[in-house]
Amino acid sequence: MEILISFIIPFIILLTVVVFIHEYGHYYYAKKYGVGVTDFSIGFGREIFGFNDKSGTRWKFCIIPLGGYVKFFGDRNVFSQAEQDELLKKYSKEDQKKLFVVKPLYQRSLIVAAGPFANFLLAILIFAFIYMFAGKDFTPAQIQEVQLESPAYVAGIKSGDIIESINEKEVKSIMEVSAFINSSSSSKIDIGILRNGSELTFSVEPKMIKSEDSLGNKANKKIIGIKIAPLNEEINRQRLGPATALFYAVKETWFVIDASWNFIISMFKGTGDTTQLGGPIKIAKITGQVAKLGFIAFLSIMAYISISLGFINLLPIPMLDGGHLMFYAFEKILGRPLTQRTQEGFFRIGLFLLLSLMFFTTFNDLRDLGLF
């Protein structure tokens, strides 16, 4: 019962919200361009409950709450003009207007891309809400101590220095120092310092250590051997106005997207830390841990998960939204859709990649729980 309340319920609530927003992005633009929608499902498998709206869409919750989908009227792939003509013969003139496949390329692209971008918008709104009502930290990061023979010590950083930037990203808060260091995919980090009124830059090569995050979960962390403290021992947390909050919300969302992209690149280079990849089990665990810290913390993790869902879905992998956009790009270049055989080949590759990723992340999750 305790596991249900502490982990499963918060996880289901979080996943339901971010999946609903994602699918509603698809749904909204489908309806905007006159595409019929037969099903709007949260979850997969057997339906638990649902209802039909006046346009005939079945809104439903299903037994496996690990995703969702929007099904379009006459949903199927069309690989040639002949197949499209054959499809149109099955429907009346009125119903033909509701088919997704007959819509212009730009409309189909917007309908597909709307899901991931709805996730980004949700994250921006959550961050803006937090910055307006809970505030945003603007405490300057001053170095209180530099460990002997540490990477920072070797580079020439001293106690009393104020960190102004990391890899050319302006450091506005003491909270950003660790985030910027650990999100870096390069072997060396450029740290901008303010020392006695002078601006200096030091190149530091961090060490990777096995540690624990603030929630007690095992994690590999990059350290440079410094202890930081608020400047003049004063915490500066400010509630922001709507425009300023929106600016920093967009900035935070972009930072997460950029860090995720750099991590993907680092994995292809063989330098990324793949042990940090997690699946539903790890997400459920962290969601439950964060939920205990309060509503604002729960909203924050929801924003980060929403960004991750949007980002992953934009990857050019068949079966994901990004895969469909890739097909549309080929269609634009070639002047026609790819052949059925080619698309089916891509879908097999996409299925293999997704199953491999699911297996790998599940293995990481179970290892994190000490089962391997």
Placement of tokens 């809970």 in the chain: 134
| Nearest by Cα to 135 from 241, 231, 31 | 241
190: number of Cβ within 10 Å: 16
Burial string for 316-350 (b: 16+ CB within 10 Å, else e) reads ebbebbbbbbbbbeeeeeeeebbeeeebeebbeeb
Say if residue 37 is exposed, middle or buried (CB neighbours under 10 Å; 0-12, 13-18, 19+). buried
CB 159 within 8 A of CB 122: no
23 a catalytic residue: yes
Instruction: Report CA-CA distances (Å) from 315 to 6, 113, 353.
Output: 32, 11, 12
- Residue 165 forms beta bridges with which residues? 170, 192
Short-list 148, 154, 157, 229, CA closest to 191: 157
Site of tokens 């089962």: 371
Rounded to whole angstroms, the Cα distance separating 156 from 222 reads: 18
Which H or E element spans position 39?
A: strand 37-52
Per annotation, catalytic residue among 23, 205, 212, 331 = 23
Q: Are strands 162-166 and 169-170 parallel, antiparallel or unpaired?
A: antiparallel
Sequence length of the chain is 372
Residue whose token pair is 């099904």: 71
Residues designated catalytic? 23
